[in-house]
Amino acid sequence: MVDFLSDVHLDASEPATFNAWATHLNTTAANALFILGDLFEVWVGDDTQDPFHLQCTEVLRTTAQRIPVFFMCGNRDFLVGAQWLQLTGMQGLQDPCVLELSEQKILLSHGDALCIDDTDYMAFRNQVRASAWQHTFLSKPLAERQQIAKELRDQSKARQQTQSSYADVDANTARVWLSDNDCQLLIHGHTHRPASHDLGHGLSRMVLSDWEALATPPRLEVLRWTQDTKRFARVSLNT
């Protein structure tokens, strides 16, 4: 049994979501866990000593001692580095990467790189994913990085209030990715639009849910693959 989740957006201001996430990690019967990005609302460097982040780190470390835990960066926590992964015991994943489950090859991604119609975001993504930008940013004092991250989040929230729609995954790009990697199924997060999509020619993509414990109804969902059925099922943790 394998669990997949993404877009938990852990933040100290939302303890109910943290509690649901921590409870799942502490109790899941899965044999492995894949976290496909945006586990945190923000990450400004592995040297953070924020008490909430340290609490999350301990949950992950405890879980990784029990089962293999795999982590892929998202657009919120792309600055997660090798130091923190080593501290937690998780194994880092490239985006995208191929997973083989019972002879089925599955392509895993956070999903943001597939939203090519969001040209402003793609330009920002190219900037902050560059090694020179990251080196410069991570060289700044921690307090300055936290202030920059706050300003970027405020700007993002302001844009969200003015946008009526958001770019989704580009179907043609998804098909190219699947073909290039000899896969038929893509699993990703990022868009907060949990659904299954038929891409034609035997290709498909499954979108992971975001997490918000205080939403109505709560959004606390993992995608679970079981060995017996060789199938994926959405499991709601609030039922």
- For the chain, what is the mean pLDDT? 94
Q: Helix and strand tally (H, E) in the chain? A: 7, 11
Give the residue carrying structure tokens 């852990």: 10
Q: Is this structure's pTM higher than 0.85?
A: yes
Residue 167 is predicted with a pLDDT of: 84
Question: Comparing 5-9, 53-57, 68-72, 159-163, which segment has the lowest mean pLDDT?
Answer: 159-163
Q: How far is 194 from 6, CA to CA, in rounded Å?
A: 11
Q: 224 in helix, strand or coil?
A: strand
pLDDT tens column, 204-236: 999 999 999 999 999 999 999 998 989 999 999
The domains found in the chain, sorted by start residue, are 2-118+168-236 (3.60.21.10)
**pLDDT confidence band for 149 (50 / 70 / 90):** confident
Answer whether the bond into residue 96 is a cis peptide, omega within 30°: yes
Mean pLDDT of 46-68: 96
Two tokens at 176? 């190219």
Give Cβ neighbours of residue 227 (< 8 Å, ≥ 6 apart): 1, 102
pLDDT at residue 163 greater than cutoff 70: no
**pLDDT confidence band for 57 (50 / 70 / 90):** very high
Q: How far is 224 from 178, CA to CA, in rounded Å?
A: 21
**pLDDT confidence band for 133 (50 / 70 / 90):** very high
Residue 53 is predicted with a pLDDT of: 94
Question: Comparing 68-77, 108-117, 140-149, which segment has the lowest mean pLDDT?
Answer: 140-149
Residue 161 is predicted with a pLDDT of: 67
Question: Comparing 122-131, 155-164, 179-188, which segment has the lowest mean pLDDT?
Answer: 155-164
Residue 162 is predicted with a pLDDT of: 65
Q: How far is 9 from 165, CA to CA, in rounded Å?
A: 21
**pLDDT confidence band for 181 (50 / 70 / 90):** very high
Two tokens at 193? 């639009």
